[in-house]
């Protein structure tokens, strides 16, 4: 595609691209391995997987990539363009929903947790907690759910009784999905601080994968950062013919890190918006252009701190005793 003739189409294509990262890709590979082990184990409760990390490091993007990789294998026999189905018993056919991604609300209670699952499957969400629970487990069986992803788990309510009810619910959900060789996956921020995840019912089966920002304090970290930028450059450079090789990963790695502090959300915003402005205005994707791209308040505050000269403490002169 010629960027000079179709700049908006090229920008839209680049904005939709998945930026490969050794940090994220390594976590995805590990998660896929554990999910495979769960699918082959004995019937019953399985290992619960968790993805933990600060805001803006790419946890949700990781889950989307994981789902994209797994989904074709779950529906391999489906006709192209058709809704996947399965037949649990002769004469009964249901839609197949092998992967569910449910985003939880703030201070989510047990009923909100069940209601979110039912709403994803377009089931009624009214009724008592017991009715909702029964409806959830029937729906998970009916649609043959193999990977149940609960995102923003840190939003679950943690009062004493609410935590007790939610712990029991997570344990039962894990058992229900596990009976089909499936996996329960929890995603959230600072989950190691959440009381409900330290309960023996959950903690005894929980395997947590921590996702952190890029770091450049070690040689390995610097290499990972530059490899990441090189891969991004390889995506966009064919549409920027006047740019020299290394314009991102050799010339701008320190600048790009100062702007984003290695947080994937800000990195993608900076590079994708910078690319869009470069090809639509036919400008160089350099520091001057990237300076015009606004980022999150978190990134801007951190950048200001990095660029503020640190004052050295003033040494006091010792007084001579008279």
pLDDT tens per residue across all 322 residues of the chain:
556 668 899 999 999 998 888 888 889 999 999 999 999 978 888 999 999 998 889 898 899 989 999 999 988 776 776 788 888 888 888 889 999 999 998 888 889 999 999 999 999 898 888 899 999 999 999 999 999 999 999 888 877 676 888 899 999 999 999 999 999 999 998 887 777 788 888 999 999 999 999 999 999 999 999 999 999 999 999 999 999 999 999 999 999 999 999 999 999 999 999 999 999 999 999 999 999 999 999 999 998 887 776 555 555 554 444 3
Which residues, other chains included, contact 83 with Cβ-Cβ below 8 Å and sequence gap of 6+?
95
Residue 224 token pair: 């990972």
The answer to whether 69 and 32 have CB atoms below 8 angstroms apart is: yes
The answer to whether 66 and 31 have CB atoms below 8 angstroms apart is: yes
Mapped onto helix, strand or coil, the DSSP state of residue 4 is coil
The length of the chain, given as a count of residues:
322
CA distances from 91 to 86, 87, 88, 94 (A): 11, 7, 9, 10
């Amino acid at each position: 595609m010629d960027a000079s003739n179709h700049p908006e189409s090229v920008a839209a294509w680049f904005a939709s691209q998945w930026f490969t990262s050794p940090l994220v890709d390594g976590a995805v590979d590990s998660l896929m391995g554990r999910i495979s082990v769960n699918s082959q184990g004995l019937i019953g409760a399985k290992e619960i997987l968790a993805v933990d990390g600060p805001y803006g490091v790419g946890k949700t993007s990781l889950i989307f990539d994981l789902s994209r990789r797994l989904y074709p294998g779950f529906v391999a026999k489906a006709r192209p363009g058709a809704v996947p189905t399965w037949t649990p018993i002769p004469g009964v056919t249901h839609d197949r929903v092998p992967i569910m991604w449910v985003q939880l609300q703030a201070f989510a209670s047990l009923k909100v947790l069940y209601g979110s699952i039912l709403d994803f499957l377009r089931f009624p969400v009214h009724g008592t907690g017991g009715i909702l629970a029964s409806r959830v487990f029937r729906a998970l069986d009916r649609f043959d759910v193999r990977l149940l992803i609960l995102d923003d788990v840190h939003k679950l309510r943690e009062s004493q009784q609410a935590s007790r009810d939610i712990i029991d619910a997570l344990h039962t959900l894990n058992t229900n999905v596990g009976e089909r060789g499936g996996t329960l996956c929890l995603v959230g921020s600072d989950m190691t601080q959440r009381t409900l995840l330290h309960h023996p019912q959950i903690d005894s089966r929980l395997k947590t994968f921590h996702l952190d920002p890029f770091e450049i304090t070690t040689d390995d970290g610097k290499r990972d950062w530059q490899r990441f930028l090189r891969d991004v450059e390889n995506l966009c450079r064919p549409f920027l013919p006047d740019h020299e090789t290394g314009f991102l990963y050799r010339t701008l790695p320190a600048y790009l890190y100062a702007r984003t502090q290695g947080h994937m959300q800000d990195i993608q915003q900076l590079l994708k918006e910078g690319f869009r402005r470069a090809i639509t205005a036919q400008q160089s994707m350099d520091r001057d252009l990237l300076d015009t791209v606004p980022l999150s308040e978190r990134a801007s505050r951190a950048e200001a701190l990095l660029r503020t000269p640190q004052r050295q403490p003033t040494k006091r002169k010792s007084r001579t005793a008279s």
